[in-house]
Amino acid sequence: MLDIQRIRTDFPILGREVYGRPLVYLDNAATTQKPRCVVDAMTDEYLNVNANVHRGVHYLSQQATDLMEQARETVRRFIGARSTAEVVFTRGTTESINLVASSFGQAFLGEGDEVVITEMEHHSNIVPWQLLRERTGIKIKVCPITDEGRLDLEAFVRLLSSHTRLVSVTAVSNVLGTVNPIKEIIAIAHAHDVPVLIDAAQAAPHMPINVQELDCDFLALSGHKVYGPTGIGVLYGKEALLEQMPPYMGGGEMIGKVSFEHTTWNELPYKFEAGTPDYVAATGLARALDYVTSIGIDEIEAYEHQLGTYAYEQLMQIEGMNIYGPAPSPVVSFNIVSPSLQGRADGGLIHHLDLGTLLDRLGIAVRTGHHCAEPLMHRLGIEGTVRASFALYNSREEVDSLCDAIRRVATMF
């Protein structure tokens, strides 16, 4: 069992107050807090090692380059990639998916070709394919979800056709907390010779990832959702595919030779890393992954499962509670029906923004709105939800504080 109180001391921000109340931070699906070791590692590099990477013969540049490539190796181990050539640093999951849409799209997709996504996708796994559709005329096919919030696998199989060129699916819904059977999805797609991109932004902090065991073709994740800094993320891609894809951006570092007549590209992964990278953030990401590994991702998964179960049980005891999606999960999206508001067209739901705003005044940090998943909200027949999302440093006491605050707020309507 994790020693939560000891772990919490690694995150100084958790000891602060807001509005004179102890902070209860339950917005981890949006971004996680950072342990002191991550901040210290980045501070040390800025103060003692700072120099542009891959471009200098001087000591600091070589030292900074070594730190960045050590960070790439840390990521490789964390996700189980075969080679560091398959680990591309990006600004986050959004840029990683856009890179695939642009570069894989240019190499392999044309008019009439199909990309399959799902109803539960984040906008970052919807809009890039729509932009590609405008440029090339591809078709987007959407796999539905069941009323319980799970992916309809039978419908998924029916969507695959001789024109399907890519499946792009989230591993874990950022709204419903649904854990998709991605290994099965990958196997089904590969049986049709269709490559698969996995959005692992919500999976990386909560469960083990091994891209070779999954056999996914691409995988994207964000540093700031796994206790690392913002502005850094990862695209994993099978080396054979990355070799065939054109660069995403042009500029320094991604080139082999440049003339006004012709340019050649650098080797992997640098072909996709144009310009000066955020090498300090790469160090921060590596330290965050080391931190998670030192605690144990299996232990984190088990603890968060228990915490999610407890949260679901306690929340469901609140009068008027509506929870969306299967349980338990580290992500809980909900709305509250107020008896005094019943009879309205919305069924008497307390507006999620009102509920979240009042919870904030009680020190409870949650997220409200559509969570960058408007099509999913349309499927659920609502405008938005309140979302409480847990991390390894959250406690049962904080769940109790959330429930007490919800009850108090609900009496105001």
Find out whether 281 and 97 touch, Cβ atoms under 8 Å.
no
Find out whether 155 and 389 touch, Cβ atoms under 8 Å.
no
CA distance 135 to 130: 9
- Mean pLDDT of the chain, nearest integer: 96
pLDDT 10s digits, 254-284: 889 999 999 999 999 999 999 999 999 999 9
**Could you tell me the pLDDT band of residue 343, with boundaries at 50, 70 and 90?**
low
49-294 in CATH: which number? 3.40.640.10
Q: How high is the pLDDT of residue 345?
A: 63
Is the per-residue pLDDT at 56 higher than 90? no
- Give the lowest-confidence range in 117-121, 325-329, 381-385: 325-329
CA distance 303 to 305: 5
**Could you tell me the pLDDT band of residue 346, with boundaries at 50, 70 and 90?**
low
Q: Decide yes or no: CATH 3.90.1150.10 for domain 4-26+296-410.
A: yes
The domain ranges of the chain are 4-26+296-410, 49-294
DSSP H helices, 321-386, are 352-361, 374-380
Q: How high is the pLDDT of residue 204?
A: 98
**Could you tell me the pLDDT band of residue 339, with boundaries at 50, 70 and 90?**
confident
Instruction: Give the Å distances, CA to CA, from 295 to 17, 368, 375.
Output: 27, 30, 36
- How many Cβ atoms are within 10 Å of 319's Cβ, its own excluded? 10
- Looking at residues 114-132, what average pLDDT do you find? 98
Beta strands of 57-195 (E only): which ranges?
87-90, 114-118, 139-143, 164-170
Return the structure tokens found at 76: 């490789």
Residue 220 φ/ψ, nearest 5 degrees: -125, 140
Secondary structure (3-state) at 309: helix
pLDDT 10s digits, 86-116: 999 999 999 999 999 999 999 999 999 999 9
CA distance 85 to 137: 31
- Looking at residues 381-393, what average pLDDT do you find? 97
- Is 37 among the catalytic positions? no
Given the residues 37, 216, 372, 403, select the one marked as catalytic: 372
Q: Does the predicted TM-score (pTM) go above 0.95?
A: yes
pLDDT 10s digits, 199-224: 999 999 999 999 999 999 999 999 99
Is the per-residue pLDDT at 392 higher than 70? yes
**Angle at the Cα of 147 from the Cα atoms of 142 and 150, rounded to 5 degrees:** 60
